[in-house]
Amino acid sequence: MSNTRRMITIAKVKGKNPRTKQVTVYKLTDNTDRFEVGSALYCHGVIYEVVHSQPKGQKEFTIELTPSPDLVVVGSELKVPYESVPILEEGTFYHEDLVGMKVFDEGNYLGEITNIIETGSNDVYVVTYDNSEILIPSIKSVIKHVDILKQTMFVNLPKGL
């Protein structure tokens, strides 16, 4: 059994000012408290504390971290411990719970969720198998059953998908 602490990604680094050491992040969480002064964020196994925070539009924050965020580069993921996030209501999932999940349609293996695209109305799961991809909308009429423990998802694909 691994001793590695399970983490949830809450933001991706979009930019970094080398002079001020401020980092612009694209938030992947609805909980903006994660970016408040005093909050702890993890990146590449290092724990950082937010010492300055300012919203930048609806989906971004400019933050300053201590210690100096030398390992934090554009594209890095900022994470928090899994046990610190709230339990979601039934039928909703964290992206980390879904990526890697095996997807089936009427018993046929479609592939594995390799990415999740956020759209304005619903997420879209990128399912990959043998170098081909299928995009599956995350809507109730398509997603029939998700089993986090077995890492399986059963779908009913609409005609033409």
Order of all β-strands in the sheet with 123-129: 132-137, 123-129, 108-118, 102-105, 152-155, 143-147
Give pLDDT, residue 83.
85
Give pLDDT, residue 96.
83
Give pLDDT, residue 161.
65
Structural domains of the chain, ranges and CATH numbers in brackets:
7-84 (2.40.30.60), 95-155 (2.30.30.240)
Give pLDDT, residue 31.
84
Give pLDDT, residue 82.
84
pTM of the entire predicted model = 0.68
Longest dimension (CA), the chain: 55
Give pLDDT, residue 68.
84
Give pLDDT, residue 104.
96
* CA gap 127, 151 in Å, rounded: 14
pLDDT (tens place) for every residue of the chain, 161 residues total: 445 678 889 999 999 988 888 999 998 888 888 999 999 999 998 999 999 999 998 889 999 999 988 888 898 999 999 888 877 778 778 888 899 999 999 889 999 999 998 887 889 999 999 989 999 999 999 999 999 889 999 999 987 76
Cβ atoms of 88 and 94 closer than 8 Å: yes
